[in-house]
Amino acid sequence: MKTTQKSFKPKAKLLLELGDQLIKDEGIALFELVKNGYDADATKVSVEMKNIDSVENGTIVITDNGSGMTPELVLDVWLEPGTNYRQKQLNKNIRSKKFKRLPLGEKGIGRFGAHKLGKKIEMVTRSAGENEVAVSIDWRDFEKDNYLEDINVSVVQRAPIVFTGAKTGTVMKITDLRNIWNRGAVRELHRAINSICSPYKAPDEFSAGLVLGDADKKDWLENLFTWEDAQKYRLFHAACVIDGDKLSYTYDFLPWEIMNKVTKRQVKKTLTVIDSETKKPLSLKNFKIGKITFDLSIYDLENEILSLSSGVDRTGLKDFLRVNGGIRVYRDGMRVYDHGEPGNDWLELGTRRVNTPTDRISNNIILGQVNLSRVASTDLVEKTNREGFVENEATKALRKAILFSILQIEAERNKDKLRLRAAYSGAKKREPVLDDLADLRKKLEKKKLLKEFGKDIEKIETNFRDIREKLLTSAGAGLSLSIVIHEIQRIINELKAITKQDHGGARIKNLVDRLSELTEGYAVLVRQEGKLNLKASDLIKQGLFNVNYRLKAHKVEVINGVTAKNDFKINCSRRLIVGAIMNLVDNSIWWMENKNPVKKYLFVSASQELKEGPAIIIGDNGSGFTDELEYMVQPFFTRKVDGMGLGLHIVDEVMKVHKGKIKILEAGDIRLPPEIKGAVIALVFPK
């Protein structure tokens, strides 16, 4: 038997593969680099981007005015991925010299953020009384089939050139960018950087900001709705403290000055926190979590409420909440990623709301933050890949305690929400198809056409009732019936539009015949067809042609933004994509009617400005969206008083078939005509 002792000998590319797994996107990459400045006692970190529409010429420069690094620190710590240098500081409660900060970094993987952004980095750093240290890394050297120990990194110690005099700090220049940055990606990065510090309890003397160095891109960061803007419109607010097994909260109902039918209300309570599973008291003193404070600003996005004040920037508020809404987590005023980010519903507020939507708070109507002490919350361990806390018993207890608190605030809010609805809302719910047929019958009577088509309408109504009664006995046929209803309703809407025209007899007969055929033999709804390479412009043209009667009937002016430059081809089913466009136009018409602006505008275009891929854009100047997309694409979810909640669900399914997705756009994501200030939605296709 032969025994050999041998150590692991990692390949250089392992370092890059680890970085790709640990740093999932550019926002996290910048957070890691900004965090280094915080740990170094910086008061300011600046992220400057230039020529970012070119991977060859683009640069990203991160500069801080912190304490910098000594040559020994660069050689023995910065160049050692996975070092426990910061962890030792944290364990021994060693704080920074100037601002007494505990380090945020623990794993020693923050430098991988630079690799995520570009292929080359040049770092210059200087500590007080020391020479500058310049480090150059070309990440492409690590892609070769060499061992890690064979890759040399240039480290130069020199007289100060960048940080002259008494200046200290670190500057990192990233070049040979990995991606071109468009408007949407830059605005997303701006949001990520601005969320690093708590808006309530930001660390003393610390800020981070994004600067665009290209004159032609200055407008990319204009007209951004801010946290301060959003605070003006909150209607419900709660400040909570969880200490051990006790929850203390102050809840305020804050009606706007114009809401003279309701009055302010404040409640202060202290309760015992109850475990939702055991139904027994839950004490956080059993864990190293410390005292928790959290703040909740809650909004009401119902159109009846928002329309009460002409001063409310409805579009700005809804867009801001759609992207920034949720409950974030901060330690000593610095963000813990990625709790509260879109896609990370760490408290499962969405699931709770689906079950009882009117009573539960969703991420898109709340701006919340949980504040923790860095030194007291050591049982809450951040995941290495920055996707929140490791799922241990402390994390579960934290979540349960916060959800218990939210439940109490929801109970308070619901009381005032009912008061608001009683004072300012009185919508009557309609029954789909049957109420529309009744409306159609009245319109035909006014046109003196009821004698000709009355029997057909009665036949359709009878057949529909029969179909509904039979299919509702079978749960498996429920969705099929719903799709039939949706198609019937679309035809009825078109019939309504035509009855307002002077010469619509032939068209009416054609549509009535279609309705009759559909209700008598609906089994085959969708015929199969192959996919074709089609221009977005042609699909848009066909979709608009199909809804031309409705657009004219509702006096909607169409703004067509398709150009040869932004047009693109899609491998798709013509019928499905045209149907999706028609569904979105139908929604726009409805919400424009709901808002009833002086003039209605519909914007349709192709776009290649989005980071995810080319897109067909449909926008309007209606009321806009009030819910998160994840809810709106669920079957039967709707805010329309007479809606069925299938339009966006069908569109979502169509986009999934085409490997694409629906995306709700916020102001500034793409260039829009000034008339378009309502909902803007994109059908995004794969690159």
Same domain, 365 and 457: no
298 with 186, same domain: the answer is: no
Cβ pair 160, 131 in contact under 8 A: yes
Residue type, 323: V
pTM: 0.66
Are residues 236 and 219 part of one domain?
A: no
Q: How confident is the model over 548-597, as pLDDT tens digits?
A: 878 888 899 999 999 999 999 999 888 788 888 988 998 898 788 767 78
Residue 398 and residue 447 in one domain? no
Rounded to the nearest 10 degrees, the angle between the axes of helix 478-499 and helix 450-471 is 170
Query: Sorting pLDDT into bands at 50, 70 and 90, what band is 385?
Result: low
Do 478 and 397 have their domain in common? no
429 is a domain residue: no
Domain that holds residue 445: 434-520
Model confidence over 647-663: pLDDT tens digits?
788 888 888 888 899 99
Q: Are residues 219 and 234 in the same domain?
A: no
Q: Mark whether 211 and 244 lie in a shared domain.
A: no
- Regarding whether 590 and 514 lie in a shared domain, the answer is no
Q: Would you say residue 514 has pLDDT above 70?
A: no
Taking only the tens place, the pLDDT of each residue in 329-374 is: 999 888 888 888 877 889 988 877 765 677 788 899 999 999 999 8
CA–CA separation, 487 and 481 (whole Å) = 10
User: 527 in a domain, yes or no?
Assistant: no
Looking at 224, 259, 283, the residue that finishes a domain is 224
Q: Is residue 526 part of a domain?
A: no
Q: Are residues 456 and 587 in the same domain?
A: no
Cβ-proximal residues to 103 (8 Å cutoff; 6+ apart), any chain = 39, 86, 89, 90, 96
Residue 473 lies in a domain: yes
Q: How far apart are CA 628 and CA 325, in angstroms?
A: 10
Per the domain annotation, does 308 fall within a domain? yes
Check whether residue 157 and residue 208 sit in a common domain.
yes
Q: Is residue 5 part of a domain?
A: no
Give residue 473's pLDDT: 36
DSSP letters, 458-507, are: HHHHHHHHHHHHHHTT-GGGHHHHHHHHHHHHHHHHHHHHHHTSSS-HHH
Main-chain phi, psi angles of 358, to 5 degrees: -75, -20
Domains of the chain: total: 4
Give the residue among 647, 673, 662 at the shortest CA–CA distance from 558.
673
pLDDT at 315 over 90: no
CATH number (domain holding residue 20): 3.30.565.10
Same domain? For 298 and 212 the reply is no
Query: Do 545 and 497 belong to one domain?
Result: no
Domain boundary residue, one of 403, 424, 445: 424
- For 256-303, how does the pLDDT look when each residue is reduced to its tens digit (9 = 90+)? 999 999 999 999 999 889 888 887 889 999 999 999 999 999 999 988
Q: What pLDDT digit, counting tens, does each position of 95-117 carry?
A: 888 888 877 765 566 666 678 88
**Residue 527, pLDDT above cutoff 70:** no
Residue corresponding to tokens 């605030």: 409
